[in-house]
Amino acid sequence: MMRKAPLALIAVALLLGACASNPSTLQIGDSRNPPELRTLLRMAHQAESAGRDENAAALYRQAHELHPFDSAPLTAWGFLANRVGSYEQAADIFRSAMSVDEDDRDARRGLANALVNLDRPDEALVMYRDLLRDRPDDYRAWNGMGVALDMLSRHVDAQDAYREGLAAAPDNPNLANNLGLSLALTGQFDEAIEVLSDVTDERADFATARQNLALAYGLAGEGATAAAIAQRDLPDDVVRRNLSYYQAARFARRPTPTE
């Protein structure tokens, strides 16, 4: 994804909700699905959970071929494609799901997420706004909107979106992670550190949030603290590179003296 510096260098640290959870659980338990379809979706989910993504994709395809008028297999397949980085394919699959059921919110949100990953945030914003018009408490859509806005360097608007999402889902770690990173990128280091510290205290396994916390400390000029945090997940050579980047970014933020 193309973003203005410094965001371009740390784009991976912004998380769409679907990227952080296994999406095939979205419609497995839908009682409206025929038993055979639920079984296939459950098998596909189990394959995903075991890291057998090709098997999972084949099962989603099989489910779609057997139930072509149900959007659930396509939607789950689209989330799988998005998760593994096949963004164009994901977008095509989500469009197919929407042609089966234009009201499939998961497919609509999945397509918006794919557009974000394809560096098409303006198009994604239109879709997120439509989703939120229908359901203002959709925290996943607020999160996606925030990521799209951050991509467009509209950081204040992005932070508002993350806060709206957190109002609906106060304990969602992806929203808090993204808010903390966005705050750090706009120089609001104290608040960024507070938000990200809360996330990492609650989720010790959330390495992305921990590295964003290191970033916030680094941009705030607290290199030693940043290094100590970064070393929990990264090798020393990567930590040194990151510290150099933090220092360069700090200098880049300083106003240029005028004569």
Centre a 10 Å sphere on the Cβ of residue 69 and count the other Cβ atoms it contains.
7
Give 15's pLDDT tier (boundaries 50, 70, 90): confident
The b/e string for 156-180 (b: 16+ C-beta within 10 A; e otherwise) is: ebbbbbbebbbebbeebbbbbbbbb
Reported as a single tens digit per residue, the pLDDT across 22-72 is: 444 555 556 667 888 999 999 999 999 999 999 999 999 999 999 999 999
The CATH number, out of the four listed (1.25.40.10, 3.10.20.740, 1.10.150.120, 3.40.50.170), of the domain defined by the range 7-186: 1.25.40.10
What is the C-alpha end-to-end distance of the chain, expressed in Å?
38
> Contact 62/41 with Cβ under 8 angstroms?
no
Would the pLDDT of 76 be above 80? yes
pLDDT of residue 44: 95
In this model, does residue 256 exceed pLDDT 90? no
Domain ranges of the chain: 7-186, 187-253
| Own/partner long-range contacts of 97-104 (Cβ < 8 Å, ≥24 apart) | 97/71, 98/71, 100/68, 100/69, 100/70, 100/71, 100/74, 101/70, 101/71, 104/71, 104/75
Please give the pLDDT value at position 223.
94
3-state secondary structure string across 17-82: HHHCCCHHHCCCCCCCCCHHHHHHHHHHHHHHHCCCHHHHHHHHHHHHHHCCCCCHHHHHHHHHHH
Q: What is the pLDDT of residues 201-252, one digit of tens each?
A: 999 999 999 999 999 999 999 999 999 999 999 999 999 999 998 888 887 7
Please choose, from the candidates 133, 157, 134, the residue with its C-alpha nearest in 3D space to the C-alpha of residue 147: 157
* 14: confidence class by pLDDT, cuts 50, 70, 90: confident
Residue-averaged pLDDT of the chain: 88
* 198-215 confidence digits (pLDDT tens): 999 999 999 999 999 999
Is 20's pLDDT higher than 60? no
Whether the pLDDT of residue 7 is over 90: the answer is no
Q: Quick check: 132 and 142 in contact, CB under 8 A? A: yes
Q: Which tens digits make up the pLDDT trace of 77-129?
A: 999 999 999 999 999 999 999 999 999 999 999 999 999 999 999 999 999 99
Q: Specify the pLDDT at position 249.
A: 84
pLDDT digits (tens, 9 = 90+) for 179-189: 999 999 999 99
DSSP 9: G
Listed residue (249, 140, 242) closest to 185, CA to CA? 249
pLDDT per residue as tens digits for the range 128-183: 999 999 999 999 999 999 999 999 999 999 999 999 999 999 999 999 999 999 99
pTM metric for this prediction = 0.86
